[in-house]
Amino acid sequence: MAQFDFMGKAKVFGLISAVLFVGSILAMATLGLRPGIDFTGGLQLTLLYPAGTAVSAQSVRAYVAQILGARAASAPYYVQTITAERDAPGTGRVSLPGVVVTVRTEDKALAEELRKALLAPAPESGLPRPAEHSLTEIGAQVSREIVNRAWQAILVALAAMLVYIAVRFRLRYGVAAVLALVHDVVLTLGVFSVFRLEINLPVIAALLTVVGYSINDTIVVFDRIRENLRASKKASLWDVINRSINQTLTRTLNTSSTTLLPIAVLLAVAGIALREFTVAMACGVIFGTYSSIFIASPILYAWTRAAERLRAR
């Protein structure tokens, strides 16, 4: 198999990564992230209507706006359409159209008013009565606790990986791997910011999963670099890194492609319920594979060369 000069392209891909990294930060700073109800607190009402009923998100949104009136400014809301499968006697499985109404408010009276209005809509609204419904309420104190625990989980995971790799390899390997992980997480959050996708607890779980996936891929490359350095003591670090990446490339691509296949299927069939989770997983796998080759290894090379020049002085 032809040997690709990965290190020779490191500056080009490094520039691309820098542009994407800065762009993601700017997107988060200007557009912001869209936190889900898990992180903001509020009311989430799921309504399922009888089979064959025509219900649009626009009609439900207009009715909610009418109910909230001037209070909509202090209680932001959004409406998403869903479909649920149910078993019906004598007819087999039927599809029930539905909507998920999410309102970010701590006003219990407002939440109860909205619930009653949607369960028994006014005739002029044109909305039918729902066949099924479920209600989820999350308080602000619980939301703050969830936010704190989510960030703690991510930071603890990064710190633990840094310590492990520093002990298992060397400090420079650990720093390079963690910087690659930060790159993956920031780019994934940038995608969520640009496309206005919701950040919820499944997304945090996906980010932690991606952190573990990406670090595993990076360690495979680093382990091969270390082995080749021991076997070829006279070879330059540039050549060793290039050879190591080429030797692990097939394994990296096979692992990534087989991981992406079920994620793609989940994204296609799971619908809106798991959309953010699958998007986060897909972005993480793609960015993690990319950073293991074009971010972590060049950082390791740059650190090693800088240390050698410092010792020479």
pLDDT at position 241 is 92
Distance (Å, rounded) from C-alpha 158 to C-alpha 299?
17
CA diameter of the chain:
85
Query: Is residue 34 within 8 Å of residue 198, measured between CB atoms?
Result: yes
Note whether 47 and 99 are within 8 A (CB).
yes
Token digits of residue 61: 């949104």
Q: What kind and span of H or E run contains 153?
A: helix 140-168
**pLDDT at position 1:** 47
**pTM of the shown model:** 0.76
* pLDDT tens digits along 106-126: 777 877 888 888 888 888 888
The residue among 193, 293, 228, 238 whose CA lies nearest residue 8 is 238
Q: What is the pLDDT of residue 90?
A: 64
Q: Pairing mode, if any, of strands 92-103 and 42-48?
A: antiparallel
Question: What does the pLDDT read at residue 167?
Answer: 87
Tokens of 153: 């989980």
Question: Is there a contact between 166 and 3 (Cβ–Cβ < 8 Å)?
Answer: no
Per-residue model confidence (pLDDT) at position 193: 93
Q: What are the CB-based long-range contacts (under 8 Å, 24+) for 242-246? A: 242/3, 242/4, 242/5, 242/6, 242/7, 242/8, 243/3, 244/297, 245/6, 245/221, 245/293, 245/297, 246/1, 246/3, 246/4, 246/6
**pLDDT confidence of residue 165:** 86
Domains of the chain (ranges, CATH numbers): 7-36+142-312 (1.20.1640.10), 42-138 (3.30.70.120)
pLDDT of residue 86: 77
Closest CA to 278 of 171, 200, 169, 164: 200
Buried b (16+ CB within 10 A) or exposed e, 131-155: beeeeebbeeeebeebbeebeeebe
Residue ranges for the chain with pLDDT beneath 70: 1-2, 38, 73-74, 88-91, 139-144, 146-147, 271-273
pLDDT of residue 74: 66
Residue 47, H or E segment = strand 42-48
Q: What is the pLDDT of residue 281?
A: 92
pLDDT number for residue 198: 82
Per-residue tokens: 114? 């909205």
Quick one: pLDDT at residue 107? 73
Which pLDDT value is given to residue 186?
93
